[in-house]
């Protein structure tokens, strides 16, 4: 079975993964889903290894998901958050890397508010690095868990029409998903007002652009909503919360133009009544939002497993 | 419904189709039921009222793209009913109301309030424009989608330019979501700040602070780059300089979705009007030089400028009978729009159909509203006018609550005789034969 090959000591983005590597990670993760549903969830694959979750940007669900993933595989997991560390006292990112090296971790899970910061850190540490989200660049494990969710609910990804809706411009989730889903053969549409579409996004990324929800959702198999951050609702990118919900919020009315069995996804945390109507989000037949959380743990276990295999082989 | 009627023996002028012929026009149930040279009294049934309009011109009712109604907030200067009466007397059957009232029209409820007040008058059709930015303050986007649903025909901060380039870029980009028309007041605010009239020799002699001509073209050139980046539909409310005309002409040649308007006062008057510190010649953008005026006329004639709008801005005496620098900007114009425009035709500067097109079908098309054409089945929004009748503009003759006309005492040739909206007469000149 393929695994993340030697040059990819790190998982920094979907862009640097080969298609076979993506497939291998999804296969492994699929196996961990069943494990996670058992009462005894513990494996010893990462026993003796140290995993540090280094979050320069606050996060609850992603950090918890990585923490659970590491613990279920038997690793010693330590959480470092920026507020409690020296970074706020002026330590540079490279200083942090040197400090961490001295602690001999085996895996670093890093989230940072600047695009490219995780890659910079990865160049200066001696262990595997997983990007848990860097700026508006990539969030590869989110894209992988979305792919796993779709595959388990629909049986495939190739040929499906996926509509990604909302704040694409500021979304690393959207960028990673665009890369991954187009690679696996899905037809990807982006639905947003032009102020929330990044410049230069279009056919060169293999995506179609829509400014109208009904047109963008027409015949879609998957409707993926993105979170709109509150500071962007106050008139700089969209005029107001109520206008955004009126034209770009997912309601039953707008969803009616998608396929009748279209699956609704959201990376969380949701703004009910902003990008999604709470009633739509809560429909268990249509909403895969909680599946996404479940798949997240399995996918992160798979990433940890693959990135530490060379250590186990060496031992 | 009222009895059908027909205007007979008049000169039919329809800029949209190029029709210019002697004939008749039949109105039934508020709509144009027939028109053309074949319509004569002897061919019409006895149920049809025949109106002899020999010697008069019958055109689509005018569409004025720039009108300040005074409401809400300045009811002592103008009210919706007085503005609508002035419009009807000027031959205007549809107008776009600017949103820079107090409070500004940046909220769907406020917009609907104005539209409903106007509708109740059952007269001239009032189409509100909405603010492009919240409060017209140029900082945050207005709720353009909701405002469009409430009936907004265009988006503009009225007499204020959006100064911040990033806000303008986002406003234009956002407007493309709904294919909205964005109307800019082309004046770079930092360059124009404190200015009272055109910058130049006259201002220097009068000792008045100037507004440099480049304030206009600089903002237009900036915006054109943003239009190019976004593809938004962009209209210049009124331009005043030769440089602006040249830049717009070039932009159109490059295929940009740009349109442009001008006012009658900029077409007929220059900064010389300011002599004697006449505050009724204080307008925004300011009256410029003779060279600029010539360029505006040339631009109108060659289609670079496609709209003539009054920029009707009522100001009471307290706003104008003050030292020039302190006076408010603006002139009333609804009642002189047609006559001032006809001056250019009488002087042989522009064809009658071209002139009327700039006041009817072209603004209607930009605003996406019905009207502005003589076509079968179209609403009978009509203007019957005498093209040669001589009259003199006087304060007492104006129906506007405010009398701040730039043309006081001027003799014009041509004026509205009768104005109809949906086949109903909303204005008929008492001293006229018809």
pLDDT tens per residue across span A197-237: 998 888 889 999 999 999 999 999 999 999 998 777 777 89
Query: Which candidate in B311, B381, B386, B422 is catalytic?
Result: B311
Q: Of A109, A78, A63, A3, which Cα lies nearest the Cα of A297?
A: A63
Q: Distance, in angstroms, between A112 CA and closest chain B CA? A: 27
DSSP string, A146-178: HHHHHHHHHS--TT-EEEEES--TT-HHHHHHH
B79: in domain: yes
User: By the CB < 8 Å criterion, does B174 face chain A?
Assistant: yes
B43: in domain: no
Any idea which residue has 């015949």 for tokens?
Answer: A219
Looking at the DSSP assignment, which residues form a beta bridge with residue B156?
B183
Number of domains in chain B: 1
d(C-alpha A94, C-alpha B343), whole Å = 76
d(C-alpha B201, C-alpha B240), whole Å = 17
Instruction: Say whether A243 and B143 touch across the interface (CB within 8 A).
Output: yes
- Helices A289-314 and A19-36: crossing angle, nearest 10°? 110
User: By the CB < 8 Å criterion, does A202 face chain B?
Assistant: no
d(C-alpha B278, C-alpha B47), whole Å = 55
Give me the pLDDT at residue B109, please: 96
Give me the pLDDT at residue A86, please: 60
B18: in domain: no
First to last CA, chain A: 20
Q: Of A250, A274, A272, which Cα lies nearest the Cα of A262?
A: A250
3-state SS, residue B74:
coil
Number of residue pairs across A and B with CB atoms under 8 Å?
Answer: 48
A235: left (phi over 0), alpha (psi -120 to 50) or beta: left
d(C-alpha A88, C-alpha A69), whole Å = 28
d(C-alpha B359, C-alpha B365), whole Å = 11
Q: Of B109, B122, B127, B114, which Cα lies nearest the Cα of B70?
A: B114
Count CB neighbours of B63 within 10 A: 28
Instruction: Say whether A236 and B140 touch across the interface (CB within 8 A).
Output: yes
B404: in domain: no
Read off the pLDDT band of A1 (50, 70, 90): very low
DSSP A39: S
Contacts of B176 in chain A (CB under 8 A): 194, 211
Residue B78 sits in a domain whose CATH number is: 3.20.20.140
Buried b (16+ CB within 10 A) or exposed e, A227-252: bbeeebbebebbbbbbbbbebbbbee
Average pLDDT over residues B98-115: 96
Q: Can you give the residue range of the structural domain that contains B317?
A: 61-367
Per-residue pLDDT tens digits for A121-175: 999 999 999 999 999 999 999 999 999 999 999 999 999 999 999 999 999 999 9
Looking at the DSSP assignment, which residues form a beta bridge with residue A108?
A52, A129
Return the CA Rg of chain A. Answer: 19
Q: Decide: A119 and A62 in contact? Cβ < 8 Å.
A: no
d(C-alpha B129, C-alpha B237), whole Å = 12
d(C-alpha B189, C-alpha B280), whole Å = 22
Per-residue pLDDT tens digits for B386-408: 999 999 999 999 999 999 999 99
User: By the CB < 8 Å criterion, does B349 face chain A?
Assistant: no
Contacts of A195 in chain B (CB under 8 A): 141, 170, 173-174
Contacts of A212 in chain B (CB under 8 A): 177
Residue B74 in this model has a pLDDT that exceeds 50: yes
Minimum CA–CA partner of A212 in chain B: B177
Torsion angle, alpha carbons of B286, B288, B292, B294, to 10: 100
d(C-alpha A278, C-alpha A271), whole Å = 9
A281: which 2 tokens? 């989000």
B391: in domain: no
B228: in domain: yes
B381: in domain: no
B422 classed as catalytic: no
User: By the CB < 8 Å criterion, does B135 face chain A?
Assistant: no
How does the average pLDDT of chain B come out, rounded? 96
Residue B100 backbone dihedrals phi, psi, to 5 degrees: -85, 55
As for the ipTM of the complex, it is 0.91
Residue A88 in this model has a pLDDT that exceeds 90: no
B192: in domain: yes
User: By the CB < 8 Å criterion, does B146 face chain A?
Assistant: yes
Any idea which residue has 């979305």 for tokens?
Answer: A146
């Amino acid at each position: 079975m393929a695994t993340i090959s030697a040059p990819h000591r790190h998982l920094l983005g979907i862009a640097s993964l080969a298609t076979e590597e993506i497939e291998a990670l999804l296969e492994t993760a699929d196996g961990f889903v069943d494990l996670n549903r058992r009462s005894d969830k513990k494996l010893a694959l990462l026993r003796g290894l140290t995993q540090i979750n280094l979050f320069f940007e606050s996060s609850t669900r992603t950090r918890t998901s990585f923490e659970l993933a590491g613990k279920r595989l038997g690793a010693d997991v330590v959480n470092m958050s920026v507020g409690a560390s020296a970074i706020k006292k002026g330590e540079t990112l490279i200083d942090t890397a040197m400090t961490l090296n001295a602690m001999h971790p085996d895996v670093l899970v890093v989230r940072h508010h600047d695009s490219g910061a995780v890659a910079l850190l990865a160049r200066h540490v001696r262990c595997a690095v997983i990007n848990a989200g860097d700026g508006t660049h990539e969030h590869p494990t989110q894209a992988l868990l979305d792919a796993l969710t779709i595959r388990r609910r629909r049986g495939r990804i190739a040929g499906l029409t996926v509509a990604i809706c909302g704040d694409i411009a500021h979304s690393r989730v959207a960028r990673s998903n665009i890369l991954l889903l187009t690679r696996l053969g899905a037809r990807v549409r982006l639905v947003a007002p032009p102020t929330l579409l990044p410049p230069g996004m279009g056919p060169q990324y293999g995506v179609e652009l829509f400014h109208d929800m009904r047109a963008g959702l027409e015949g879609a198999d998957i409707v993926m909503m993105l979170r709109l951050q509150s500071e962007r609702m106050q008139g700089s990118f969209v005029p107001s919360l109520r206008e955004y919900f009126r034209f770009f919020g997912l309601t039953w009315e707008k969803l009616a133009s998608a396929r009748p069995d279209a699956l609704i996804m959201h990376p969380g945390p949701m703004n009910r009544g902003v990008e999604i109507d709470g009633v739509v989000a809560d429909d268990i037949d249509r909403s895969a939002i909680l599946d996404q959380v479940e798949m997240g743990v399995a996918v992160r276990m798979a990433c940890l497993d693959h990135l530490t295999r060379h250590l186990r082989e060496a031992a | 419904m009222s009895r059908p009627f027909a205007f007979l023996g008049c000169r039919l002028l329809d800029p949209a189709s190029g029709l210019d012929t002697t004939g008749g026009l039949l109105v039934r149930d508020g709509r144009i039921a027939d028109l053309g040279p074949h319509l004569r009294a002897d061919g019409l049934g006895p149920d049809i009222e025949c109106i002899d309009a020999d010697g008069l011109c019958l055109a689509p009712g005018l569409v004025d793209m720039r009108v300040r109604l005074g409401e809400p907030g300045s009811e002592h200067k103008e009210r919706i009913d007085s503005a609508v009466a002035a419009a009807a007397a000027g031959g205007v059957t549809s107008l776009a109301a600017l949103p820079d009232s107090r409070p500004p029209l940046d909220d769907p409820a406020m917009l609907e309030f104005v539209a409903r007040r106007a509708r109740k008058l059952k007269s001239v059709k009032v189409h509100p424009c909405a603010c492009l930015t919240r409060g017209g303050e140029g900082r945050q986007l207005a709720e353009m989608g909701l405002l469009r649903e409430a009936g907004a025909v265009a988006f503009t901060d009225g007499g204020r330019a959006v100064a911040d380039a990033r806000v303008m870029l986002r406003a234009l980009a956002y407007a493309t979501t709904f294919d909205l028309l964005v109307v800019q007041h082309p004046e770079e605010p930092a360059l124009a700040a404190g200015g009272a009239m055109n910058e130049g020799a006259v201002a220097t002699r009068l000792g008045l602070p100037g507004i440099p001509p480049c304030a206009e073209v600089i903002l237009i050139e900036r915006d054109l780059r943003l239009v190019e980046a976004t593809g938004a539909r962009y209209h210049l409310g009124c331009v005043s300089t030769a440089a602006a005309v040249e830049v717009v002409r070039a932009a159109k040649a490059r295929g940009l979705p740009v349109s442009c308007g001008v006012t009658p006062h900029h077409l007929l008057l220059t900064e010389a009007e300011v002599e004697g510190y006449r505050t009724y010649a204080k307008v925004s953008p300011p009256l410029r030089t003779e060279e600029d005026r010539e360029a505006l006329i040339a631009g109108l004639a060659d289609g670079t400028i496609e709209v003539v709008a009054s920029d009707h801005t009522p100001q009471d005496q307290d706003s104008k009978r003050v030292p020039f620098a302190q006076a408010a900007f603006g002139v009333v114009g609804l009642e002189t729009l047609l006559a001032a425009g006809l001056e250019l035709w009488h002087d042989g500067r522009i064809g009658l159909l071209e002139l009327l097109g700039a006041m009817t079908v072209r603004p209607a098309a930009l605003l996406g509203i019905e009207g502005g054409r003589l076509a079968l089945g179209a609403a009978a929004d009509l203007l019957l006018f005498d093209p040669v009748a001589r009259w003199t503009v006087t304060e007492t003759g104006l129906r506007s609550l405010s009398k701040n006309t730039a043309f006081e005492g001027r003799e014009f040739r041509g004026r509205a005789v009768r104005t109809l909206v949906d086949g109903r007469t909303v204005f008929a000149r008492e001293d006229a034969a018809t």
